[in-house]
Structure 1
């Protein structure tokens, strides 16, 4: 009997072990199938994840060591594929029930976030810089192990779900640069372990608790026009948790400050009698209105006696800066111009979105410094009273085109939104003055990184960072060409000084659309970009000429030599520690023809090992762009794909810029010791 029981126990144990191992093998196979489906939906050409070869019966994604995949006990626990240009939904990943880390930053993934709420073991979610839309799913509350959540720079709408209060272990929440609305949930004040919170640049409204400002700083909530409370935010003019939806316009900043005190509490709308405070406010408002009318009347009659006073009612952008008279910004409020500009129009900036709007007067009061002069005007850095920093371009020509035409061009370029194109935020039009307002790029230009401070003590620009900046600029130019494919609007001024770096070190194309303001016959001569050979005869801008200019930009990055704006013989000269080549493509061709290819590349790059193949591949892309015949050049979409296929490993010497050097290389996703 004992022997029979022992035999039964042994057989049962064997079946259990066999069943467990079989289940694990099946689960591992399921993970592989899930990843294969994800690849088929997001890597349409099969080139971005070429390491993900079809698994056999004897191998899985774990045993085959697929790129970006980490496993534990033959189960997928991490998917890390940032900046791989993946496009499509992430629905397939919902079956990865052992997933701990999901890092898909900087791709072009879309759809909703609901599928990943089924990955109940997630600890780290990094999905910033994609095209996800819809609302933040309340089902995120089931991810009880979640430590870090980054959904910034997407197109998410709706309120922040109150169900997130269940995620008490959260250390960081980044939801900035979306279109989230509603009030800020109270539970955020009670998160004991939360170290970082960023809700800036959304459409949130209501009272902002003082505890959140003191704990996370006001910058974490800036760019939400409807927020009020303690400084630097405006004082709340309502008593409820949200402003009255029927009496407050969609843009709170458009409401006159003298009238905000008269807004009723929605919970007391049935009261018919006005309180003493409301009566006083109305009297004050009427007095201010009369004073404004009297001021305009006085200005009108004074204007008839002094034409100079009428046309020169001016303020400087930087009253706290030492500006010469040519940096003066006019704010004419007297009479109408012949081009249709009236006094009301002249006092307003025209914005393209609701985020971070301000008045012309705020710009006039801002402290400013000149950043540089270009062929189309002078650029200033303006710091507003609330700390917001913008770049302001003052157009060189007083009247490049008529008002209606100018506004049409501004609408064309103002609608473009892309992570690698400098955001055009607003413009100001008057007969005497044209101002363009952009996001400020704090990390300078690619030109300065390549050429400034050459010599001893210079921090070299490593290959990993260079190629990342090239790819960002290429994506921005590709988007411009795609957005305006039917009208064939080019950039027209592609050069390294127009590739700017934002606060995260992302490359952004600047100055797009300004060529529209010029006569086509004069645009080629006026703009300082790298010119294609055919432009000497045709004298027209084109998208094919943009591709040529980008090829010259690639050669500049590879060689470390600055191209001249003029084409002469392929010679070299040195100007202020900057090696200038009169015709960079011809110089490179001559060096390669003589079989001295190694002489082409920047000496700073030769210190790195195992990148020769990548350098040569990039050189091939550049030479394809600068072929003399326009029809033989690739499109920017093809250029982007070729660059993406160039494999880039981490810099061999580990000399990527750290945070003290402005963090120019993309930082890796944060990991936890527990994970």
Structure 2
């Protein structure tokens, strides 16, 4: 009995020591990643992390086993986590953490590791091979370099390996034989080269390897002539068009080149002389003809009917048109005009590829028309044509594009590239295949409609809030707003994650014109100030939240489906209508009847209504910031962790639906 008591006392002493050590480690982590102390306010040192119920921290036997802080905007290294020797689950997706991954490789009990969407650099640590219990490893969307360590073959329990969108180089080790349980693999958009192992391509598909220019093998990859050395990297186009290499020839130029190549020298000389004689005679006619042709072509897409190919597939395909000839009065030369300007090295293509792409018109907005373009290699992108949106000069346009092109967040639609000419401007985005929040809320109302459930609505609104908050934070100093917040600009990616679109296009317009043509759900002060602001974004978000809660279309922005909504439901603007109903103590009448069928959500509905009403107060200074709005929503409904109480290694559902649009083109 005495021996048992001694053992128990020893165990409790060890447990208490471990809890103190874990608390110290997390406190150090906070000091290095939450510099202003505002992101993790309840992480205090008065008690241990386990007894104080710190945000994102779960414990077992008074030891930290879970650290889940996705999208908290943490910045800094993760060195302090190396001493969390009982850590099983770490989810730090979508932050701005940096440094190397070596510290986390010392957490030998890890089973689930989600570190995507950060700024980690260096190589994948060799020490990862010691994480024998690891089931899921997601290091995608970072800046990792170097090879894929061959000793990852020791991770015999691994189910998921995501390494896409890094700068990983070298050849692909044949992992299949040594990783028999591997079910998900993505190595796309790196700098890998050499042969794609047949065992891997046959099991995981070619999409897992796209975006690695040096790979070869069976189709769709080129035949292998790999000799063991790294191939020369292809020319890439970054965001400075003035320093670009000359573009590849157009189809017309290639045809002309092949024709002349087959002629003898005498014939070529004769043609040149004849052309010289005729040049002065026909010059004026040629100029008039081509100018007129350009003017006609720049007003429509080549081979495109105005109605376009609708989602029901009743009409034919179209092609996106962009002029690539001549020079413009703003200094745009022929080489510049034939170039797409990309913001990163991943998933690039030539303008010629875009010209050949079949295109489907998705809709028309206040600044232009949006098309879904399918390239020859199967890549799908969204192209917004700004043709008449803005007459600004090339330099000014490029400055605006650089501003909006640098932001990266899982809840913001990725801006990939742009094309500039005086009479033609194209913006290229990720294509998100699941439509908009507007269509989910308002289309097909009536008998037979599948309602949009509450959990889905709150998840979509939280994603939109996080994306908008990131925009406001990124551009806090310059106070750049989104400027066009509305449900039709909240798009869903292939995993059903909401992403906010159209950020930054307000920069292309005069402030007065921006309010008239954009404005989203307009704040009251905009009638006098005639200026977009981040506070007006908050108001627009509040109206968006009311739209989600009520199921009603805000009156200021009617839609084709407006006729389906009862007139009395949309008389006046939505915030005033909600205020009048709540004032008369008919709060239940505010909510969408589709939501009232769900049980036990009344408290959440009312709490979310309070958030919306705080955002739409008439006085801008009294509105919360978007970061505060995000926090309020998270307190109402915290997203469920992908990890349950039990660590069931046989489950394949532990991998969360990754909130990223990076693989939307695959």
- Per the normalisation by structure 2, the TM-score is 0.80
1:139 corresponds in structure 2 to: 127
1:195 corresponds in structure 2 to: 183
How much does 1:377 deviate?
A: 0.9
1:427-471 CA distance string (max 9 Å, x none): 122233221111111121111122222233333323332222222
- Output aligned runs, 1:188-227, within 5 Å: 188-193=175-180, 194-227=182-215
Contact 2:468 2:500 in 1 (8 A): yes
1:48-81 CA distance string (max 9 Å, x none): 685999657xxx83x8887766666x26474152
How much does 1:17 deviate?
A: 6.3
The SS at the match of 2:400 is helix
- Output aligned runs, 1:469-484, within 5 Å: 469-484=460-475
Q: Which moved more, 1:383-392 or 1:479-488?
A: 479-488
How much does 1:375 deviate?
A: 0.9
- Cα gap change, 1:457 to 1:33, in 2 (>3 Å): farther
**How many angstroms apart in 2 are the aligned matches of 1:308 and 1:499?**
44
Matched, 1:583 2:573: yes
- Output aligned runs, 1:602-621, within 5 Å: 602-621=592-611
1:454 corresponds in structure 2 to: 445
**How many angstroms apart in 2 are the aligned matches of 1:512 and 1:342?**
28
1:505-537 CA distance string (max 9 Å, x none): 222111112122222222211125111112222
**How many angstroms apart in 1 are the aligned matches of 2:53 and 2:396?**
57
Contact 2:304 2:319 in 1 (8 A): no
Matched, 1:629 2:616: no
1:360-412 CA distance string (max 9 Å, x none): 22112212211111111111111111111100111251763233322222222
- Output aligned runs, 1:57-206, within 5 Å: 61=50, 74=61, 76=63, 78-79=65-66, 81=68, 83=70, 85=72, 87-88=74-75, 89-107=77-95, 109-177=97-165, 179-193=166-180, 194-206=182-194
**How many angstroms apart in 2 are the aligned matches of 1:456 and 1:52?**
53
How much does 1:32 deviate?
A: 5.4
Contact 1:48 1:86 in 2 (8 A): no
- Per the normalisation by structure 1, the TM-score is 0.79
Structure 2: 5+ residue stretches without partners = 239-243, 309-315, 652-666
- Cα gap change, 1:257 to 1:140, in 2 (>3 Å): farther
The SS at the match of 2:168 is strand
The SS at the match of 2:636 is coil
2:528 corresponds in structure 1 to: 537
1:280 corresponds in structure 2 to: none
The SS at the match of 1:481 is helix
How much does 1:590 deviate?
A: 0.9
- Larger radius of gyration between Structure 1 and Structure 2: 1
How much does 1:479 deviate?
A: 2.2
Contact 1:205 1:226 in 2 (8 A): yes
**How many angstroms apart in 2 are the aligned matches of 1:523 and 1:133?**
40
Q: Which moved more, 1:304-313 or 1:507-516?
A: 304-313
Contact 2:56 2:66 in 1 (8 A): yes
RMSD: 4.1
The SS at the match of 2:452 is coil
- Output aligned runs, 1:228-247, within 5 Å: 228-235=216-223, 239-244=227-232
How much does 1:497 deviate?
A: 0.7
How much does 1:583 deviate?
A: 0.7
- Cα gap change, 1:39 to 1:558, in 2 (>3 Å): farther
Contact 1:399 1:431 in 2 (8 A): no
- Output aligned runs, 1:314-393, within 5 Å: 329-393=320-384
Contact 1:317 1:368 in 2 (8 A): no
Contact 1:207 1:241 in 2 (8 A): no
Contact 2:58 2:65 in 1 (8 A): yes
- Cα gap change, 1:555 to 1:68, in 2 (>3 Å): same
Q: Which moved more, 1:23-32 or 1:520-529?
A: 23-32
**How many angstroms apart in 2 are the aligned matches of 1:143 and 1:398?**
54
Q: Aligned match of 1:527 in 487, 507, 518?
A: 518
The SS at the match of 1:157 is coil
Contact 2:170 2:191 in 1 (8 A): no
2:664 corresponds in structure 1 to: none
How much does 1:166 deviate?
A: 2.9
1:250-295 CA distance string (max 9 Å, x none): 679989999xxxxxxxxxxxxxxxxxxxxxxxxx99976975999x
**How many angstroms apart in 1 are the aligned matches of 2:52 and 2:332?**
68
Aligned pairs, number:
612
**How many angstroms apart in 2 are the aligned matches of 1:476 and 1:180?**
25
How much does 1:136 deviate?
A: 1.9
- Cα gap change, 1:322 to 1:399, in 2 (>3 Å): closer
1:308 corresponds in structure 2 to: 289
- Cα gap change, 1:437 to 1:255, in 2 (>3 Å): same
Contact 1:425 1:439 in 2 (8 A): yes
2:656 corresponds in structure 1 to: none
**How many angstroms apart in 1 are the aligned matches of 2:544 and 2:432?**
20
1:147-188 CA distance string (max 9 Å, x none): 3212223343333233323323323211123x2231233243
